[in-house]
Amino acid sequence: MKIALVPLSQSPDEASRVLKWALDLWGDHIPNYSQQDWIDFYSNSTKSNYKSWNGQGQELVYLAMRGEEVVGSIALVDFDELEEFRHLKPWIAAFIVNPQMRGAGIGTQILTLLEDEAKSLGIEVLYLWTEDQSAFYLKRGYQIVARTKLGALNISVMEKKFSET
């Protein structure tokens, strides 16, 4: 069965499920991002405008649905935790696959769907950071543009351009 991205605003009751996955995976692991920040992030995204991208305070969380089942989530945001990279946007964030379904290719499908959504919104480049999944993104056309630290984390900042600007 195919996976589809659905704005969290269309299924706000599912926010608690993906919030739990995020807290289980990252919790307080990300410096300067508390449990309350996660709660606010998912809550704010239920009220976002998903029809256009203006890059000003937008937090667009998409549920990855296979039929009626939530298999993951991924977000498109105009901010990140990295002060020195705030001029770059938009960012892929809160990308998570149902813990029982990892390793089955679902992540690749979700990422491709988000890239298609970004292109439909007129976005020509996406950014993300990862501490341990660089190989996954490199295989999918992302490039490392910087390596830096976020607290004690060693991270790679990555980008993918859809067209030359």
Residue 64: phi and psi, rounded to 5, are: -95, 115
| pTM exceeding 0.85 | yes
Domains along the sequence of the chain with CATH: 4-123 (3.40.630.30)
Q: What is the pLDDT of residues 73-90, one digit of tens each?
A: 999 998 766 778 888 889
Q: What is the pLDDT of residues 24-74, one digit of tens each?
A: 777 666 666 777 887 888 888 888 888 888 877 788 999 999 998 999 999
Q: What is the pLDDT of residues 93-146, one digit of tens each?
A: 889 998 888 777 899 999 999 999 999 999 999 999 898 889 999 999 999 999
Q: Pick from 41, 58, 38: which is nearest to 50 by CA?
A: 58
